[in-house]
Each structure stands twice: as C-alpha cells, then as structure tokens.
Structure 1
C-alpha cells in the first residue's frame, strides 16, 4: 500500500491532526490531554459492557422486566455497538473523525441519562440502543484519532499501551463498580456514572481534538454498508439471544442464516465496489488477518473466563458480591501493571512475538483453572490464575492492535481501527453465548466450569500456534512483516 506523504495526508490542519514527533516519545501537556480525552471515552464504553451485569436483578424488579427479557438489557447495547462499527469508522474517514467522535460522545451521554431515568422497559431499552449507537461512533473514530495523532514508533506504542490498559480495566472496574453502586444507591446509578463520564469528557474534546479525515471523498459504499451491518447485527443478535433461549428459536435460526449469507455477500460486494467500505487487499495483509484472529480469540475467551469464574466464586465457593469484586480488583491492578510494561516488551521483542507469547500465556493460565474445586483454597488459585492470565490478555490486546494498524496509511487508519474495534466488540459479545452457556446449563456447575475452562484454554493455545505461523516473516524480501500481504511467501 502507498506510503504516506505530506501532500497526501496532512496538507492542512483541517484534515490531519498535529503529530507527536517520532523521535520524541515524551508527551507534551497537550498530548497528554488529548490522550486523556480519547482514552477516557474508550474507558467509558468498556465500562458499559459490564457495569450493569450485577444490577440486572434489581433492574428487572424495578422496571417489571422478566428474567428472559433482562438479556435485552445487554443485547440492546451490543447489537448497534458491534453492528455499526465498520460503517461509522468509514464515515469518520470520509466526513471527519472528530465530528463523528463528538456526535457519538454527545449521543452516548444523553442515552445514558435516558437509561438512568427510564420509566418502563421500552424507554430503558431505547436508551441502551442509543448508547450502542454512540459507542459505535466513539470507538473507531477515537482509535483513528489516536493512531493519526501518534505516529508509528515509541509514541504510538505508549499511547496504545495506555489505551489498551484502560480498555481492559474498564471491563473489570465495571464489574466491581456495578456491585458497589447498586448496593449503595440503585441500578440507576450505574447508568448515571456513564453519563457523568460523558459530561466530564465532552467539554474538553472540542478544544483539544483536531479534525482528521481522508482528503478525497469517494462515494460511501452503500451495498457494502448494508451487507456488513446487517450481517453483524444478525450474528450478534443470534448469539446473544441463544445464550438465553438456546438455538432452537425461529428468530435465532433466521438471524444465523442471515448472518451466514450476508457476511460472505459483503466480501463479494467489496470485490466489485469502486470505493469499497473494506479494502480486500488490506484484509489480505498478514497483520490484519492474523492480528484480528488473535484479538478475536483473546477477547472472546477472556470475557468467558470472567463470566464463568463469577458464577463459580458466588455459587460454589459462596463468596459475596463484594468478595468477588475483590478478586477482580486484584486482576485489575495486575492488568494495569501489564499495561505499563507492555510497550517496553513490544519495543524489545516486537508486536508479533508479544502477541503469540501473550496468547500462549493466557491459554496456559486458563488451563490452570481446571484445578478449581469446592475447597476454599481454590479462591487463591482463581485469583492468581485469572490475574496472571489477564496480564497476558492485556499484552495480547495491545500487541494485536499494533500489529493490525502497523504500516497502514493515515487515510485508512479508520478502516484498520474499525476492524480492530469490531473484533473487540464481537469477541466480547460471542464468547459467553458460545462457551458460557455450557456452564449455565450444566446440571453440575463445577463440571460445567471445568468443561468451559478446558475448551477455552485449547482455543487460545491453538490460536497462539496459528497466529505464530501466520505472522512468520517471509524468507525473501527485507520489508517488515506488517507490510507483507497475506499471500506472500
């Protein structure tokens, strides 16, 4: 792909943000504020994935939602947040990432307030769906603004390290904060917390962020947008609904078929489009294809471990919600430590090796959870194993993001980061329905936990091998692996 030149990517400050000097990884005060705004927004979205989980019973009792209806509190957010990511990432590329980021942030804050003040199930679910739309605009544009502000090298490594740490911490902090807020106040305070984040970040963003977009504006690929968005929406709906009602329902079957048809159709449409939503040559890059596989596996399998481990700690070891929160609090602290070390490790060994090693470490430590039993000492094993596995998980998050976006021109960073964040959102969404259901439907919960951990570990270890083989440096040529197409030798 073409190498960026000043004339092609940054002819004026209206189309490209100021860039941190490559040879100066130290961040100025303004750079730190820009990073704060972008990372705080990402953290807010990550928080939303888990902050409501422990509050669902109180939510259902307050709004009169049945147990089967409560899954829509999660699905209503996951559907638009995962389904519209690629589309919004491309719209940001074409019409302005800053503009769409601010729009998404405003929508997310207003939707969080609507959810907090909801008077019936319909108003609450409407708020959650609008939150998802806001998140779909925030995540790809925020990542694009980050990668176009901080160029490849130490500066971007550091910025992505901080972003990845907060992304991982957001999910963990959400679980702890959700329980504390629900017990101390009510479930409404969890949504109020998200609105507060938006109120803090939104006034800072306009004065700090500069517009960034592709200089030329080709037509938006409408057929591609329809097929990929419809395919992702169908797939996420099917998997989320099947987690609660199984795969036998007619709506689940129809959605699965639609996803299976629409996603391949998207590939056909893109191969013929004059201005495709997704560049197929980009998908043939080694780094994009194999890096996203690593990201999909690390997110889906780690979210499953946390979900199943929460059931184990409370229903088998009979820990309270607060005690369970302490276990994940330790995990969060070690994840933060991993985030501060990841950039240094990547700088020394490279993103490819770090990704493979992180996946291998995550899979091995998940396998250690097969030793869990009904004895109280198992809480120490659970705490140690999940915390260390989360450190490896954090390393995989940061290194896969760097792997996928390395060597991609600024004008296509929105597309690359849209793929990265789509992988994240889909991974978080599909892991629990695919494997977590094995624990929740098992007549013996401990046996179900062991089954999930065994499959989870095997999948992660297999991914480590596949990603390692897929990202091998070609024998000929001196270019970095990030620039090599998937089909290169």
Structure 2
C-alpha cells in the first residue's frame, strides 16, 4: 500500500474515531439534560402511584437538582486529578443503577434516594464528558463546533424532557423515564472504554477538602432556598435562612481558596474575565430559557387548558430552534467572535421573549407563541455556544476539568435556579390578585415573562461592558 493511501486511511480512521467520541459524549450529556425535566409533567401520576402527598411532590425534582448542582464543581476537579475517563465511566454506571432502582421504586424513600443518586451521577458525568470533549478536540473551529453541538443538545434535552415525559406518562408509564436511562448507560459503557483515552492533570496535588465542603454546602443551601422560595414565596423564613447561609458559605469558600496551597478553584482563573463573565452569561442564559419553558407550560395548561401531552408536544418547535442555534452558533462565532455572539444572542432572545408577555386567553395565540419561542431558542443557543467557547478557551489541558466543571455548574445552577425564581414571582403576583383564575394566572405570567426578558437585556449589557476587560 502506498504511503499516501496509508495516510488517507489513517485520516479516515481518526475522523471516524472523533465522530464516535463525539457521539458517545453527546449522548451521555443529552440524556442527563433530559433528566432535569422528564418527570415534571408526570409528577401527579408518580405521587398517586408511589405515595407522595401533594406538598412533597416537588422533592422528586429538587432531590435530583441538589445532587446535580451541588457536587458538579467538586467532581470537575476530581476528574482533573484522578482521571476524566474513569469518572465518566463510574458516573454512567451509577446512572444506570440508580435509574433501574428509580424505575422499580414503590415507596417515596427509595424513589428519592434514586433521584439523589441520579443527580450525583450527573455531577460526575457532565464535567468529565465536557472536559474529555475539550481535550479531544483542539482549540479553534473544531472545538467550537463540538461545543456548539454539546450546548444545543444540553438545552434541547431540557425541552425534549418535557415532550418525552408527557408522551411516556400518557402512552406508557412514568417508569420508562427511568428505564430509558438504563439502556443508554449500558450502550455507553459498552462503547466508551474502547474509544476514550484517559485524560488527567500531570500533577497530583491534594484535593482541597475544606473548599470542596464549603462550595458544595453553599450550592446545596442556595438551590434548596430558591426551591423553597419558589413554592412558598420570598418571605418564607427557611428559604431566607438557607439563601443567607449559602451566601456566607460562598464567602467562606473564597477565603479558603485564597489561603490554601492547592485550591479547588485557583483565584487566578476566576480573575480571568473570560471565565468569570463567560460563566455569568451561561448561568443566566440557561436560567432564562429553562424558566421560560416553565412559564409557558403554566400558560398552556392553566390558561389554555392543554393536557400534559399537548403541552409537551408544543415545545417541539422550541427544541428545533435550540438545535438550529447550536449549529449556527459556531459559524456566528467564527464571523463576529464569541463575545458579540453572546450579546447578540441574548438581545434577540429578549426581543423574542418580551412579546410573550402580551399573550391572550384563547388558542389563536399559539402560532404567535410558536414563532417567538423558535426564534428565542435559536438566539439562546447562539449565546450558550458563545459562553461555552469563552469559558473554556485559552486554558491549559490540566485546567480543562476545572473550567468545564465551572461551566457545567453554571448550566446546572442556571437550570435549577431559574424556575424557582420565576415561580416565586408568579406566586407573589397571584397572592396579590387573590383567586386563581385564567385571567389572574395570565397576568402573573405576563409579569414574570417581562422580568425574564429584562434579565436577558441586563446580562447582554454586562457582558458587553466587562467580558474581555483586563483586571
């Protein structure tokens, strides 16, 4: 065989391997994103079958979010130190086992334990998968395309979860929302060990245990406090106590990181405006869009009277928009740069969100809603791809797990905190209006949607002013 043919075959083989790596990692990330929302529309059915009272149903979602958001940063650093491939495989194994237990659960305790374990699996797999992605593809257009697909599938996964949850709840059983994860985990574990190479930092410093405990407890307290506020309003004492405790623990974490020889997060990396402002942009991009899905779900079911299945299927257009945005995002970044892509994406998202505050009481508004959510989905993903590229670029490989851990934490905290914040706004407005009627719900949703659009504009302005500025 000629030398040129050998090179060609090697190139084809390498390209095929890269595509397979991308497929495995994106499949895992997409599945975990789906888990954030797949049970939401099925909560009443789960409560009736397993034995949850109405006021405790929210713990099915919150228990997952606490594990996923609270431990992501810790596991991102563990991946750097002890092996990203190893942690990825361990997390997928935990996902498969916990999903099987959840699908077979007959008591609230077992189901909640399974959901916590699913959240921990998410905290292990997501930063490990993202850092494997960034180390497998060189910085530049190739990595930007890979991150674009990852961002698109992460955002589309949340929307797909709402659709799939409605379909499964109506046609099969909510238990299949767990069993699907088992099949995905088995498939990934069969393929991944053959194609993924181990990747970790060349040095093995001690793990910053005090910092890890402080930041994990801080995130747990904040997520719990936001969830309580979303249920009962911002005046609920326990919610305020938990949010205050979370803020104090973040301050303690910052002090620890400045004084320890081997910090969980190097203070210098947080002083990079690309890392700091990139993650702020990502957190708010995920918070605004996922919470908008929540608000639209309330509109469809509480105002228009849609069934869970009809409401879920209504998000298919938004899901298509997010996928298209993930494809367009890297091309946009190539033309105007990541910073401008974030700003432009958030401004267009705001322009598509604000008119939704004027939705009416009948179904003739549906075409209007579908068009605007599609445009907003495209724009949101362009901003998310810009965030992913910004927050993970210009860093050595040994810091990729840390950078992707931060980026993943921003995604998951954004997904987790957006809904309770918007829920608290809706709840406060409903209490002020009195009785819950379609008109009062619509008025409450309109106020929250306006605030949602304002967050998009504010984030765009701050990113435009501060991202890239030298300290």
Normalising by structure 1, report the TM-score. 0.90
Could you tell me which residue of structure 2 aligns to residue 95 of structure 1? Answer: 82
Q: What stretches of structure 2 of length at least 5 have no aligned partner?
A: 1-10, 434-439
Q: 1:449 aligns with which of 445, 449, 467?
A: 445
Q: Within 5 A, what are the aligned runs for 1:96-115?
A: 96-115=83-102
Q: 2:232 aligns with which of 245, 260, 276?
A: 245
Q: Within 5 A, what are the aligned runs for 1:47-446?
A: 47-440=34-427, 442=430, 443=433, 444-446=440-442
- SS of match in other structure, 2:38: coil
Could you tell me which residue of structure 1 aligns to residue 457 of structure 2? Answer: 461
User: 1:433-453: per-residue Cα shift (whole Å, max 9, x none)?
Assistant: 112232245141011011001
- SS of match in other structure, 2:363: coil
User: 1:430-482: per-residue Cα shift (whole Å, max 9, x none)?
Assistant: 1111122322451410110110011111111011011011125x6xxxxxxxx
Q: CA deviation at 1:324?
A: 2.1
Provide the C-alpha distance between the structure 2 equivalents of 1:437 and 1:247, rounded to a whole number of angstroms: 7
- SS of match in other structure, 2:200: coil
Normalising by structure 2, report the TM-score. 0.93
Matched-pair contact (CA < 8 Å) for 2:165–2:312: no
Provide the C-alpha distance between the structure 1 equivalents of 2:401 and 2:279, rounded to a whole number of angstroms: 15
- SS of match in other structure, 1:377: helix
Provide the C-alpha distance between the structure 1 equivalents of 2:235 and 2:451, rounded to a whole number of angstroms: 23
Q: CA deviation at 1:319?
A: 2.5
Matched-pair contact (CA < 8 Å) for 1:26–1:155: no
Q: CA deviation at 1:31?
A: 0.5
Matched-pair contact (CA < 8 Å) for 2:101–2:111: yes
Provide the C-alpha distance between the structure 2 equivalents of 1:105 and 1:158, rounded to a whole number of angstroms: 24
Matched-pair contact (CA < 8 Å) for 1:50–1:171: yes
User: 1:280-301: per-residue Cα shift (whole Å, max 9, x none)?
Assistant: 1111111111111111111111
- SS of match in other structure, 1:374: coil
Q: CA deviation at 1:26?
A: 12
Q: CA deviation at 1:53?
A: 0.5
User: 1:261-293: per-residue Cα shift (whole Å, max 9, x none)?
Assistant: 100110010001101000111111111111111
Matched-pair contact (CA < 8 Å) for 2:72–2:405: yes
> Residue 38 in 1 paired to residue 25 in 2?
yes
Matched-pair contact (CA < 8 Å) for 1:50–1:172: yes
Matched-pair contact (CA < 8 Å) for 1:270–1:280: yes
Q: CA deviation at 1:132?
A: 0.6
> CA RMSD, aligned part only?
1.6
Matched-pair contact (CA < 8 Å) for 1:313–1:379: no
Provide the C-alpha distance between the structure 2 equivalents of 1:137 and 1:94, rounded to a whole number of angstroms: 13
Provide the C-alpha distance between the structure 2 equivalents of 1:64 and 1:277, rounded to a whole number of angstroms: 41
Q: CA deviation at 1:249?
A: 4.8
Provide the C-alpha distance between the structure 2 equivalents of 1:447 and 1:133, rounded to a whole number of angstroms: 38
Provide the C-alpha distance between the structure 1 equivalents of 2:410 and 2:15, rounded to a whole number of angstroms: 31
Relative to its length, the structure with more helix (as a share) is 2
Q: CA deviation at 1:64?
A: 1.1
Provide the C-alpha distance between the structure 1 equivalents of 2:353 and 2:318, rounded to a whole number of angstroms: 14
Matched-pair contact (CA < 8 Å) for 1:355–1:396: yes
Matched-pair contact (CA < 8 Å) for 1:25–1:155: no
User: 1:363-403: per-residue Cα shift (whole Å, max 9, x none)?
Assistant: 11111112211132211111111111011111111110000
Matched-pair contact (CA < 8 Å) for 1:71–1:241: no
Provide the C-alpha distance between the structure 2 equivalents of 1:257 and 1:336, rounded to a whole number of angstroms: 38
Provide the C-alpha distance between the structure 1 equivalents of 2:105 and 2:310, rounded to a whole number of angstroms: 30
Provide the C-alpha distance between the structure 1 equivalents of 2:43 and 2:306, rounded to a whole number of angstroms: 19
- Are the structure 2 counterparts of residues 174 and 27 from structure 1 closer, same or farther at C-alpha, using a change threshold of 3 Å? farther
Matched-pair contact (CA < 8 Å) for 2:325–2:380: no
Q: CA deviation at 1:250?
A: 4.9
